[in-house]
Amino acid sequence: MASNIRDIQDIELLRHYHLDKTNPDTWVDEEDLPSWVHDDDINTDHGGRVTPRERRTNSIDEDFALSEQMDMLGLVKGNIFMGKNVRGDTNLISSTQKSFNPQRYLYAVHADTSYDDLCVGVDRLKGSIDQRSSALKVLVQNNFDRFVSAKNVIDSVYDDMKEKTLNETQDYGTHRLNTILRESYGKAHEVINPVLERREKIDKLRSTVGLLEPYRLFFNLPNTLLESIKQGKYQLAAKDYTKGKLLLAQAFPATTPSVASDTASAHSSSSTLIETKRRVFDKVWSEVERIVARLRADLESQLEEPWRGMEEHERNIKLLFELDTKTDPVWHCLSSQYRWIKKIMSESFDEQIVLVEELRKSDEYQQSQNITLTGRTALFKQILGAVNSSEFENQFGKEPEVKLLMAIHTGVKTLSDLLLRLLPDFWKLAVAFMDGKIQKAQKRRTVVDPQRMTQCIAMVKDIIELYSNEMTSILIDSLVLQRPGELDDELLPKQEKSEPEKPEPRRESAVVMAVFLSKIITEVSNCVNDINGLSLRGGAFMILVELMQRLRWKFVKVICMSWGDDARFFYQHEDWTLQAENSQVTLFVGLFYQFHEFCLRSAYRYASIWTAPTEEAVANDDVLAVVPEQYIEKIRDAFLDALYSFLDGLVHLAFADPERPNNGESSGSRSLENLNGGGKKAKAIDITQLDSRILITISNLSELRSVTIPKMLTDFEKTCSVSIAGDGKALIDIVDQLDTILFDDFIKRKTVVATRLITDGILYGGTDWSACPKPTGVQSYMYETLLSLVVVHAQISEIAPPLVFRALSALLINIAQDCLRCFQEVKRFGMGGMLQVTLDMELMNHSLVQYQSASSDEILQMIYEAVDRSYHPEGGENLQVEMAGLKRLLSEAKNSCYVQFKCFKKPK
């Protein structure tokens, strides 16, 4: 009994808290429960159906009862439904179900139970019922007052409800509900009727769609096209458009079969249907054509956009053909590209020209033309030393003339790059158009207009002509500004004066010009050769061939002109610094050789630059780079003229006063220094002295004659493959002439002192050569003359030791000639006079013995003959004895002046 009560309480507990079992596994919030769970007062709907809550409760009860059913007779232990002997429907044998059937229960549970056991089970059942009844009585007894109180409350509530709502006036509480239902019905009618009407329309549309189902793609075509265009899928749009055309052709074939007369009415109705169908299709197709027309316009506008690549243009052209364009998209693209290429090339050219002119007119560039001589020489040496460096532009990029040529080179590179970037795609499209390849690919039987083919070639020629004109303007017309009165074909200004003129407003340095001209002509040559690979037609490429010929000639002339100009004033770069390995020659000679060779190589490079000679594609082969004879002649003339100008500058350096001291000295004693490896001063020579400059210049000429000029001539012949032996011989003759002029001038000035001493000593020294006594020693004039030669020897040995022998040999001849001249003027020599002359000449002859030559010996012999002819001996004189005494005096004289004249001795 207590167990049953506990089961009932558990069920009520589960109902109250909306639980499925007494030990739930998860927590469920109240707001998460269904709405019907909170409706505690209503268990049924208006139709008397069980609410979800009641169904849920019943289900719980049933499940609980079925899961916990025990044997009422107490004969079967545990859950009777777990036993294998249970038969039949469990609802009929469950004591908690209304459909419980005792017979079925006995049959299902106790079919095998004996009678005695059943009797025992009946007794147990009766006892259980009695216990339950007593329990209910106890329950009623314990809660009777509650039952009474609840009954009173219920009656009171019922009376109150009956008085207010549960009466006939309120339709027993249903008046308000009926009103709401009627209003709901009206509103539902208003809502449902349009839905039903729409449903009817939907049915009609569904039937129509069923008929047009095969053409669904066609009717969706406008939306499909718009979506594809919006996503940029133009190829898909063109494909859908082609499918739409096919569907339209299938829907309305060109020919239809004839219809019999007995089916005329059916044919009439079919015609009406086809006409209706056609109108629908035409409406859709007109929308498609409107969309496609807008797409065609967009694609044609894209053909005019130059920033798009040629691949994209070709794709758009194919799309336009697929979209049945009425115009020729290829020609439209070519025309647009042609106009844009000319426009961008012209604009780029104008920008570069403006930049070059601004640099040329800038104050910085104008001031650079008046740079000081010291600064110009230092800059020239730096530039010449870095001509082969990859950092040349970075190192000298701030120099105004470098800036200018860099701007010109940038302009040429920009225009060449533009041509190489734009022309190949343009020509590729033009060839495809002229050959009809695009039309064939689209299976269009279109014959290309010959006039348009001619126009295509003309457009290409026009672009090439524009490039050629721009290059001509930059590199030929305005590359180098000519000076007033200077002819274009003139290589070098004529030099009528031996002394160079004052510097004129200078152009860019030949070295800087050569560096950038090499880059420029290489840039243009590469561009021309690349264009040659396109195999242009109609003579377009020959425009570039002519351009290259003009550029080569112009560049050769420009470099020859600058070469000559710099050579004329190259003497300004002489700073009188001696070479470390050859202290008799200045660095000036090596600097000129480096400059001369660089200009020669640069000029020949311009003349021999290779370009394709015809429109046919030709591989770059150096064998084809044949230099015309006129180029070689131009280079040869410039080569020789520059050398002659340089030689004139050397002479000018020797005779003109130096404009500045070397090594930055500002005092009057300008010194020339040669620094050894340790940084010590080897010698200091006063270059303000004419003799010093002449001796150094003679040494430089000697270096030129023996080493530098032969090397230059050999280099020229190897470079240009031309022999200039005749010109070389003439050049050496000029060097010899200049050497003779300078040397003779030096000897002449040095001979003046000796001549005055000899003349004064022989003719005006008060000596009576006819009656003078026997000699006691060498006369003073001879000592003084030999001492003057010691000074000359010291001077030459300090500056140019190799010139000592040559100079003293020449001076010896001149002194001997002066002696001969003076002695020839003496009418009579006595014994003393003759012996004095012999003593003096023998001392001179012995002191300068290593400088004697056939000429000096001959003159000395002539002196003795002249004295002998004027000699009148006196009686009683023993010549042999006198000559012995003379030898003794000569020996004493040599010993006494050994130290003074030791420099004349040949080094051991």
Question: How does DSSP assign 855-903, residue by residue?
Answer: HHHHHHHHHHHHHHHHB-PPTT--HHHHHHHHHHHHHHHHHHTTTTTGG
Q: Is the pLDDT of residue 894 over 90?
A: no
Which stretch of 425-429, 504-508, 528-532, 612-616 has the lowest confidence by average pLDDT? 504-508
Let me know the angle formed at the C-alpha of 814 by 813 and 820, rounded to the nearest 5 degrees: 90
Let me know the angle formed at the C-alpha of 669 by 668 and 671, rounded to the nearest 5 degrees: 135
Q: Which one has a higher pLDDT value, 43 or 600? A: 600
Band (641; pLDDT cuts 50, 70, 90):
very high
Let me know the angle formed at the C-alpha of 310 by 304 and 312, rounded to the nearest 5 degrees: 80
CA distance 544 to 611: 9
pLDDT for res 624:
45
The predicted model gives 762-772 an average pLDDT of 86
Q: Is the pLDDT of residue 497 over 80?
A: no
Residues sharing a CB contact under 8 Å with residue 552, sequence separation 6 or more, in sequence order: 521, 606, 607, 609, 631
**Reduced 3-state DSSP string for 495-531:** CCCCCCCCCCCCCCCHHHHHHHHHHHHHHHHHHHHHH
Q: Which amino acid is at 176?
A: R
Note whether 570 and 598 are within 8 A (CB). no
Q: Is the pLDDT of residue 212 over 80?
A: no
* Helices 329-361/450-472 angle, 10° precision: 10
Band (221; pLDDT cuts 50, 70, 90):
confident
Which stretch of 39-53, 645-659, 753-767 has the lowest confidence by average pLDDT? 39-53
Q: Is the pLDDT of residue 250 over 50?
A: yes
pLDDT for res 498:
39
Give the C-alpha distances (Å, rounded to integers) separating 146 from 136, 141, 264, 700: 15, 10, 95, 147
Q: Which one has a higher pLDDT value, 875 or 846? A: 846
Q: Which residues of 683-719 are buried (b: 16+ CB within 10 A; e: fewer)?
A: eebebeeebbbbbbbbbbbbbbbeebbeebbebbeeb
Q: Which long-range contacts (CB under 8 A, 24 or more apart) does 380-383 make?
A: 380/509, 380/511, 380/573, 381/573, 381/591, 383/509, 383/511, 383/512
Q: What is the pLDDT of residues 363-377, one digit of tens each?
A: 777 776 666 556 567
Residues sharing a CB contact under 8 Å with residue 104, sequence separation 6 or more, in sequence order: 88, 89, 92, 93
Residues sharing a CB contact under 8 Å with residue 799, sequence separation 6 or more, in sequence order: 584, 685, 692, 695, 696, 699
Q: Is the pLDDT of residue 670 over 60?
A: no
Note whether 660 and 372 are within 8 A (CB). no
Which stretch of 12-26, 277-291, 410-424, 883-897 has the lowest confidence by average pLDDT? 12-26
CA distance 473 to 687: 48
Q: Pull the structure tokens for residue 296.
A: 């065609």
Share of the chain above pLDDT 90, in %: 15
pLDDT for res 80:
73
Give the C-alpha distances (Å, rounded to integers) separating 272 from 259, 275, 280: 15, 5, 13
Alpha helix ranges (H) inside 771-853: 780-799, 804-825, 831-847
Which stretch of 244-248, 556-560, 622-626 has the lowest confidence by average pLDDT? 622-626
- Dihedral sign from CA coordinates of 516, 522, 525, 531: negative
Band (644; pLDDT cuts 50, 70, 90):
very high
Collapsing DSSP to helix, strand or coil, 50 comes out as: strand
Q: Is the pLDDT of residue 605 over 60?
A: yes
Collapsing DSSP to helix, strand or coil, 326 comes out as: coil
Q: Which amino acid is at 323?
A: L
pLDDT for res 818:
92
Q: What is the dihedral of CA 494, 499, 502, 505, to 10 degrees?
A: 30
The predicted model gives 528-556 an average pLDDT of 86
Concatenating the DSSP letter of every residue in 629-657 gives HHHHHHHHHHHHHHHHHHHHHHHHHHHSP
Query: Cα(first)–Cα(last) distance of the chain, in Å?
Result: 157
Per-residue DSSP letter, 82: G
Q: State the residue for tokens 């004419």.
A: 690
Q: What is the pLDDT of residues 63-121, one digit of tens each?
A: 444 445 677 777 777 777 665 455 556 777 777 777 888 888 888 788 788 888 888 88
- Phi and psi, residue 34, nearest 5°: -60, 155
Band (632; pLDDT cuts 50, 70, 90):
very high
- Dihedral sign from CA coordinates of 525, 529, 534, 535: positive
Note whether 724 and 636 are within 8 A (CB). yes
Q: Is the pLDDT of residue 502 over 70?
A: no
Band (50; pLDDT cuts 50, 70, 90):
very low
pLDDT for res 394:
76
Q: Is the pLDDT of residue 134 over 70?
A: yes
- Alpha carbon 258 to its chain centroid, in Å, reads 75
Task: Say how many C-beta atoms besides its own lie within 10 A of residue 91's C-beta.
Answer: 16
pLDDT for res 79:
73
CA distance 823 to 369: 62
Q: How many residues does the chain have?
A: 908
Q: Pull the structure tokens for residue 829.
A: 């020599």
Q: What is the pLDDT of residues 150-164, one digit of tens each?
A: 888 888 877 777 777
- Supply the Cα-derived Rg of the chain in whole angstroms: 65
Q: Which residues of 109-133 are buried (b: 16+ CB within 10 A; e: fewer)?
A: bbeebeeeeeeebeeeeeebeeeee
Which of 175-189, 321-335, 873-887 holds the top average pLDDT? 175-189
**Reduced 3-state DSSP string for 655-702:** HCCCCCCHHHCCCCCCEEEEECCCCCEEEEEECCCHHHHHHHHHHHHH
The predicted model gives 170-198 an average pLDDT of 82
The predicted model gives 26-35 an average pLDDT of 55
The predicted model gives 688-706 an average pLDDT of 90
Which stretch of 37-41, 330-334, 392-396, 767-771 has the lowest confidence by average pLDDT? 37-41
Please classify residue 353 by burial: count the beta carbons closer than 10 Å to its beta carbon, then call 0-12 exposed, 13-18 middle and 19+ buried. Answer: middle
Which stretch of 196-200, 257-261, 693-697, 794-798 has the lowest confidence by average pLDDT? 257-261
The predicted model gives 685-692 an average pLDDT of 83
The predicted model gives 554-559 an average pLDDT of 90
pLDDT for res 439:
54
Q: Which one has a higher pLDDT value, 424 or 169? A: 424
Among left, alpha and beta (phi > 0; psi -120 to 50; other), residue 258 is beta
Residues sharing a CB contact under 8 Å with residue 876, sequence separation 6 or more, in sequence order: none
Band (437; pLDDT cuts 50, 70, 90):
low
Band (776; pLDDT cuts 50, 70, 90):
confident
The predicted model gives 501-511 an average pLDDT of 57
Q: What is the pLDDT of residues 314-362, one digit of tens each?
A: 666 666 666 666 666 767 777 778 888 888 889 998 998 888 888 888 8
Q: Pull the structure tokens for residue 276.
A: 């209706």
Q: Which one has a higher pLDDT value, 453 or 835? A: 835
Average pLDDT, the chain: 76
pLDDT for res 87:
56
pLDDT for res 717:
92
Q: Which one has a higher pLDDT value, 48 or 790? A: 790
Q: Is the pLDDT of residue 907 over 60?
A: yes
The predicted model gives 751-771 an average pLDDT of 88
Give the C-alpha distances (Å, rounded to integers) separating 75 from 24, 109, 114, 125: 32, 10, 11, 11
